[in-house]
Amino acid sequence: MIDNNRMEQAIEHLLSTNKEYAAARVEVNTLNHDLKVLEAMRFLEAKGTVKDRESQSITGESYSNLKDLYYESLLKAKTIGNKRITEEKIIEVFIAIESNRRYLRE
């Protein structure tokens, strides 16, 4: 059963993770943009056919390291986001339970 304390914890969690979640999402978007820029720059610098240039643009240590950072950031953002969704659902369930209690009392 979800009580007042659990609902308050859910609200506190949402309030305390607003900035962290926003920062994680910004980091994901920034790294995604950086990956695209790096890929485009490497594509322009590469020689050969379009297929050769495409494959060269997504290889290399710098691209691999940046991609690893991107996936780590994405995992962090998704983890925070999923926990926030869980807390939101707890609040929604609490509201539904309280509404039903009030309805049954009347």
Global pTM value: 0.83
Instruction: Please tell me the distance from the alpha carbon of residue 43 to that of residue 53, in angstroms, as a whole number.
Output: 5
- At 11-29, the pLDDT tens digits run 999 999 999 999 999 999 9
pLDDT tens digits, one per residue of 50-91 = 999 999 999 999 999 999 999 999 999 999 999 999 999 999
Residue 24: how many other CB atoms lie within 10 Å: 20
Residue 76 tokens, joined: 């962090």
Structural domain spans, the chain: 4-99
Which position has the token pair 């049954």?
104
The one-letter code for the residue type at 99 is: S
